[in-house]
Amino acid sequence: MDQNRYIISNGVVADGRGVFYYNGSVLVDSGRIASVGPLDDLEIEGLPVLDVGGRLILPGLVNMHHHLYSHFAPGLAPHGPSEGFVEVLEDLWWPLDASMDESSIYWSSLCGAMDSVRHGVTTFFDHHASMNLSEGVLDVIDRAVEKVGSRAVLCLEVSDRLGRERVKNQFEENVRFWSSHRNDTARKGMLGIHANMTLSDESMAFLGRQKPKEMSIHVHCGEGRPDYDFCVEKGYHGPIHRLDSFGLISPGSLLVHCIHLSERDYRILEEISPAVVTNPESNANNRVGRMDRGRIGRFLLGTDGMSGDMVASLRSAFLLDRQAPRLWEGLKDAFFDERYDYVRRFFPDLRGFEIGSAADVAVLDYVPLTPVSEDNLLGHLIFGAKGGNSFMTVVDGKILWHDGKFTDSDLNDVSLVSEARKAALNLHGRFEALDWNGHLR
Ligand SMILES: [Zn+2]
C-alpha cells in the first residue's frame, strides 16, 4: 500500500483535548495529519482506506520515563532479599547495568522499542544505564530504535557510584548525542543523571558547570527515602534543592518520581515548573511510597521500565491512588494535555490531531461497546481497554505495526527472537557472575 496518503477509517477518534468523532476518520498525507472528521466527510475516491472496525484512534502514546535495557530483566533472581530501596538497586539493577555490553544493549533496546510500538507508544523518554560502556552507547540504542521506527529522547545516566573518573565520559556521551541530534525530528538527547545519592558534590558541580544551558536533565529524584536523607546529610533541603543548588533545574527538566521531598523542594517545583513524572507500578514494586498528588497537581506518566504499556500505567495510577485529589482530571491531564505541552519542547510538530501536525497515531485494539464521549474517554481507557494493545501504530505517517504484525518484515522474522534470546542468555550469565560494582562475585 502507498503509505504516503491514506485514510484510517471507521473508529472513535479522540485526542483528549476536544477532538472527538464517534464515527471518525483520519486522513494522513505525507507524514502529516491532513484532516480529521466524521466518516463520510473523509471518503476520498482512490485513496487506500484502512478500516479499524470501531476501535479507538488516539494520537500516538508517549512514555515519559522508560528503561529499554530492563526488557531483558524478567527472570533475573536478585542477588539478595532486596528488602530496602538501596538493596533493590544493589541486588538487581546495578549488577544488571554493570553486565550490559553492546550486544545486550542493542537487542534489549530493539525488543523494548518493539514492545512499546505494540502498545501504541510512538515516543519514549529512555534513561539508559551501563556503567561499563559509555562511549557511543547512545548510538547503539539509536540504531535499534531507528530500526523499529519510534521517536525517542535518549540519555545515559551519569553516576560516580563506581568512581568519579567515569563521570566525565558519561557526561561527554550525553552532550555528544544531544548536540548531534538537535535538528533531528525523530531522536533527541538529554542529560541523564542517575540520582543525587550516587553523585558527589564534586561531580554535581562538574555537571552544573559543564552542562550546556539549553540541555535539559532527566533524573531520578526523591524516589526512595535514602535519596532524600543523602541530600539532607550533605546540608541541602532535599533532592530538588540539591539539584537546583548546582544550577541543574530548568522548566525542561524531567524529574522522575518526586516522592520524598521537603517544603523547599515543593517551593522550587512551583517556582521553576520542571516536569514531574510518576511511575505507579514501579513505585508499588519498589515499595517507596507514592508521589503526593495533593502537592503536585501537574505531572506526567511513565512506566520506569516495568512495561511498554502506557494504558496499563494509567490504570495502575488510578487503582493505586484512589484517594488522590482531582483523581480523574489529574490523570487525564497527565495522559493528554501535560504531555502534549512537554513533548513539544523536543518535537514541536507533535500536536495531537491538529491539522498539519506529525502523523503519530495509536489505534488501540479496543472497540468501545458502551456509549463513549470526550467526557468518559478516560473511563474507557482504564476499564475498557485495560491495557494498551495496539491494532495499528503510526509514526510520522509510517505504519509500523498493523493487525498483529510489523510492516518491516525483519521484525517479524523468527531469527530475531533467537538472536535476542542469545544476547539475553549471555547477559543473564554475566549478571550471575558480577556484583553491583562490576567485580566477580
Ligand atoms: Zn527509572
Q: Could you write out the DSSP letters of every residue in 221-266? A: ES-SHHHHHHHHHTT-SSHHHHHHHTT---TT-EEEE--S--HHHH
Q: Is the pLDDT of residue 292 over 90?
A: yes
Instruction: List the shell of residues around ion ligand 1, using CB closer than 5 Å.
Output: 304
Q: Could you write out the DSSP letters of every residue in 44-65? A: -TTS-EEE-TT-EEEEPEEEEE
Measured CA to CA, the distance from residue 179 to residue 71 in angstroms comes to 27
Residue in this structure with the C-alpha cell 512506566, named with its chain if needed? 303
Q: How far is the CA of 258 from the centre of ligand 1 (A)?
A: 12
Q: How far is the CA of 112 from the centre of ligand 1 (A)?
A: 15
Domains in the chain: ranges and CATH: 5-60+358-409 (2.30.40.10), 62-343 (3.20.20.140)
pLDDT at residue number 42: 72
Q: What is the pLDDT of residues 195-204, one digit of tens each?
A: 999 999 999 9
pLDDT at residue number 40: 75
Q: How far is the CA of 31 from the centre of ligand 1 (A)?
A: 32
Backbone angles phi, psi at 160, to 5 degrees: -105, 30
All three cell numbers of 141, joined, read 540504542
Q: How far is the CA of 65 from the centre of ligand 1 (A)?
A: 6
All three cell numbers of 134, joined, read 559509555
Measured CA to CA, the distance from residue 408 to residue 365 in angstroms comes to 20
Q: How far is the CA of 326 from the centre of ligand 1 (A)?
A: 25
Query: Mean pLDDT over all residues of the chain?
Result: 96
* Residue from 130, 71, 61 nearest 101 by CA: 130
Q: Is the pTM of this model over 0.85?
A: yes
Measured CA to CA, the distance from residue 172 to residue 166 in angstroms comes to 10
Q: Is the pLDDT of residue 305 over 90?
A: yes
Q: How far is the CA of 127 from the centre of ligand 1 (A)?
A: 7
Q: What is the pLDDT of residues 218-249, one digit of tens each?
A: 999 999 999 999 999 999 999 999 999 999 99
Q: Is the pLDDT of residue 436 over 90?
A: no
Q: What is the pLDDT of residues 405-422, one digit of tens each?
A: 999 999 999 999 999 999
pLDDT at residue number 216: 98
Q: Is the pLDDT of residue 251 over 80?
A: yes
Q: What is the pLDDT of residues 34-46, one digit of tens each?
A: 999 997 777 778 8
What is the chain's Cα-based Rg?
21
- C-beta of residue 52 within 8 angstroms of C-beta of residue 6: no
Q: Is the pLDDT of residue 3 over 90?
A: no
pLDDT at residue number 45: 80
Measured CA to CA, the distance from residue 138 to residue 133 in angstroms comes to 10
Q: What is the pLDDT of residues 362-374, one digit of tens each?
A: 999 999 999 999 9
Q: What is the pLDDT of residues 144-203, one digit of tens each?
A: 999 999 999 999 999 999 888 899 999 999 999 999 999 999 999 999 999 999 999 999
The stretch 95-121 carries a mean pLDDT of 97
pLDDT at residue number 166: 93
Q: How far is the CA of 286 from the centre of ligand 1 (A)?
A: 11
Measured CA to CA, the distance from residue 106 to residue 137 in angstroms comes to 9
Measured CA to CA, the distance from residue 172 to residue 177 in angstroms comes to 9
DSSP H or E segment with residue 425: helix 414-433
pLDDT at residue number 426: 97
Q: Is the pLDDT of residue 2 over 80?
A: no
pLDDT at residue number 116: 98
Query: Given phi > 0 = left and psi -120 to 50 = alpha, else beta, which region is 33?
Result: beta
pLDDT at residue number 438: 81
* Residue from 271, 268, 264, 262 nearest 292 by CA: 262
pLDDT at residue number 174: 98
Q: How far is the CA of 41 from the centre of ligand 1 (A)?
A: 45
